[in-house]
A and B are shown apart, each in its own frame.
Chain A
Amino acid sequence: MPDIGVALSTIVSGVLLGGMLALTALGLSIVLGVMRLVNLAHGDFVVVGAYVGLFFLKFTGVDPLLGLPVIALIVAALAIPLYRFLLAPLAERGPEAQMMTMFAVAIILENAFVLGFSADTRSIERDYATLPLTLGPVTVPLIYVIGFAIAVALILAVHWLISRTRFGRDLRASAADAQAAATLGIDVKRVQMLTFGLGAACAGVGGTLIGAAFQFGPSSGAAYLLNSLAIVVLGGLGNVLGTLFGGVTLGFLQSVGGLTLGDGYRDLVGMALFLLVLAFRPDGFLARRRS
C-alpha cells in the first residue's frame, strides 16, 4: 500500500489532469450534442492544437499559454473549411456519412503530420511544465494546476455562451430539433459550422496544454479520442458542465486504478467505467441536468 503522500498526490494529480482532459473532450461533446456527429478526427484536432502551440512558441517566442486565444482561432479556422466543404454537403445523408468522412480526415491528418512534421515525438518545452507544486504532503505538477484552471474557466465560458447568449439559444434549439429550429428562422448550418469551429478551438487549447504537460506525435490522437469519448459518456452527451464532471471522475478513478493496480492499468479502469456507464446509464450520470 503506498504511503499517504503518494496516494494523495496521485489522486489530486488525477483530478487535475481529468479537468484538462475534460477540455479536450468538450469539443467532442458539443459537436455530438448539436450535430449528432461523433467526430472521429477529434483526437487529431487535439494533436493539431499541440503542433500549433509548439510552432507558435518556435516562431513567435511568445509563451503558448499567452497565445491560447490565437491558437484557438487558428485551429477553428483550420476546422471550419472541413465543415463547410466536407460535412455540410453530407448533412442530408445522415450522421454515418459525416462520421466516416471524419474518420477519413483523421487518417489524412495523421499522414499529413508525418509528412509535415516527421514522426518524431515532440513536447512543448516550458519550465513551468516540469515544476512541482508542493502543499504539505501533496506534490502535483504545476502544469496540471494551470491546465485545470484554464480548463475550468473555458468550460464555464462555453457554458455561459450556450446558456446565456443568442448564439447559445440558437445552438440549443438546433440541438433539440434542427428542423423546427430552421422553420423558426435559425440558420442551422451556420450554427453547426460555428459549433464545429468552437469544438475544434477547445480541442486546440486542450492540445496545447497536453503538449506542454506531456509528449505528442502524429499518432497520439487516437488515445485522446478514446479518453474524450469516455468523458463525454460519463458526463452526458452534449452536457457542458457534465464534461467537467466526467473528466474529473475519470481522472479520479484512473488514479485510484493506478494506485491499486499500477499505472499501467489506468486506461483499463477508464474503459471499464466507460462500458459500465454505457450499459447502465447511456445518457451519462448528469443526463437530467443538461445545459
Chain B
Amino acid sequence: MSQRLKNIVKAGSLLALASIAFGLGAARADEIVIGASLPLSGPLAGFGSFQQWGYKRAVAEVNKAGGISIGGTKQMVILIIRDDKTDPNAAASNTETLISRDHVVAMLGSCTPALVNAGALVAERAKKPLVTGCDPLEAFKSVRKWNYVWDLFFDEPELAAAQFKALAELGAQTNKKIAIWHDNGPDGQVVGGKIWPALAKDFGYEVVQNAEFPVDNTQFTSIIGEAKSKGAEVVLVDAITPQAIAIRKQMAAAGFTPKVLNIEKGAEPVQFAEALGKLSDGILVGGYWDSSLPYPGAADLSKAFESETKLTSSQHIADSYAAAQILLDAIASAGSTDPEKINAAIAKTDKTYAVGPVKFDENHTAKLPIVSLQWQGGKTVIIWPKAAKTGEFLFPLP
C-alpha cells in the first residue's frame, strides 16, 4: 500500500471515529430528529415494546403524509430509540446521548416513574421538550415543577379509587377485609402505602395487612400466608409484571383464593395473561384505555397493532401513540425545530386523541379518564363504569 493510500485510510478512519464520537452525520438539515429511551429489555420490556410500536406508528404516519413543514419545507421525522434496559441510570445516560450525540430537537418518555423521571430531569436541564405517558401523575408532579416535560397518564388517587367504586357499584359481597401488597417503588409507596389504606377506610373496609417488598422480590410465601390466615377476601397489589406473575402463581400454590384480586401495574401487559393462562381470569386492573372507548382512531389503533404484530394489544400503545402525536403536532404547529417554540406549542395542546381528551394543566399533566378492567379468557374487558362496559363482572375470583 502506498504512503498516500495509507494516509487516506488513516484520515477516513479518524473521520469515521470522529463521526461516531461527536454524532456527525446523525442528523441532516432536512430531517427532524426526535428520540426516546425505552425499556426494551429488563423487567419492564413488556411495556417498552408497546410504547415503541406507538411511537413508531405516529412517526410513520407523519412521514407517509410527507413530513412536517418547517420554514416552508417539508421535512421527514427521524425517531431514534435507545434501550434503557429498565435501568434509570441508563435512561438518564440515553437521554444525554440523544441530546448531545443524536441532536434531537425533542423527546418522548420511557415508562414508570423511575425511568421517565430519570430521563425527564436530563431533558429539563437541557431545556429540551419531552412528552411522555406511562408515568402516574402524582409521582411525576412530586419530582419538581416542570418546564419542558409533559405527562399524559392516569392520576393515582383516581386509579386507586376506581376499584373501590367499581366493587361498590357492582355489588361485590365480601367480608370487607383487605390485604395490601405493594412494591417499594415511588408509585408503589404512594398507592399501596398511602392512598389505598385511606380509601379502604372511606369505603368501610378493614386493612388486615399492608406489606411492602423490594421491586425485584420473587418470594411472597409469608406475605400470602399472613393474608390467608387473616381472612382477607380482597387483595390489592401494586407490583411490576414479573412480581405480579409470581404473586398469582404463589397464591394459587398456597391455596389462597380471595374473592377479589386487583393487581395494578403488573397486570396491564398481555404477557401477564400469557404467562398465567387461566390463572389470570378474574384479576382486576385499573385502566385508562380500551379500543372500545369512543375516541377517534381508538378501534383502528388496536386493530392495526394486532394485525401488524399478531399480538394482543395493550393500553400502552394508546398513550405512547398519543404522546408522539402531541409532540409531532406541536412541531408542526410551531413550524420550527426550536425547542422553546415546540415547548410553547405543546402547552397549547387541546385535542381528543385516540387515548382520550388531552389538555395540559399548570403542572404539565393531562389526566386520562379511568376504567376498571378485568382479565377474562386472555383479554381485558371493561367492567366499570357502566357507560363504558364491554363485559360482565366475573365474581368471585375463580
Contact = CB atoms under 8 A, between A and B. Distances in A.
Interface stretch (B238-246, B327-335, B389-397): B238-246
A214 B221 contact: no
Interface in A101-127: 110-111, 114, 118-123, 125
A121 B49 contact: no
Closest 4 CB pairs of A and B: A119-B45, A141-B253, A132-B255, A130-B252
Q: For the complex, would chain A's binding face be called helix, strand, loop or mixed by DSSP majority?
A: helix
Contacts of A5: 225, 229
Interface string B33-76: 00000001111011011000000000000000000000000000
A256 B254 CA distance: 18
Interface string B175-205: 0000000001000000000000000000000
A219 B218 CA distance: 13
Contacts of B255: 132, 134, 139
21 contacts: A10-B225, A114-B41, A118-B49, A119-B40, A119-B41, A120-B275, A121-B271, A122-B271, A122-B275, A123-B245, A123-B276, A129-B253, A214-B249, A215-B245, A215-B275, A219-B43, A258-B221, A262-B222, A263-B222, A264-B212, A264-B217
Contacts of B252: 130-132
B242 A2 contact: no
B78 interface: no
A122 B277 CA distance: 11
Contacts of A129: 249, 253
A3 interface: yes
Interface residues of B, number: 42
Nearest to A256: B222
Contacts of B220: 263
Given A141-B250, A141-B254, A262-B213, A218 B221 contact: no
Contact of A139 (B46, B223, B254): B254
Contacts of B254: 9, 132, 139, 141
A119 B245 contact: no
Given A132-B255, A141-B253, A214-B249, A120 B45 contact: yes
Given A143-B253, A262-B223, 17 more contacts: A2-B226, A9-B225, A9-B254, A14-B221, A111-B41, A119-B45, A120-B271, A121-B43, A123-B275, A131-B252, A139-B255, A141-B253, A213-B253, A215-B246, A215-B249, A259-B222, A262-B212
Contacts of B211: 262-263
A254 interface: yes
Contact of B229 (A3, A130, A131, A254): A3
B18 to A, nearest CB: 28
Interface residues of A, number: 45
Contact of A121 (B213, B219, B245): B245
B350 interface: no
B30 interface: no
Nearest to A210: B218
B241 A121 contact: yes
Interface string A8-20: 0110011001000
Nearest to A6: B225
Nearest to B251: A130
A6 B222 contact: yes
Contact of A119 (B48, B217, B219): B48
B46 A119 contact: yes
A172 interface: no
Interface in B120-138: none
B216 interface: yes
A44 B384 CA distance: 43
A125 B222 contact: no
Given A131-B253, A132-B253, A125 B225 contact: no
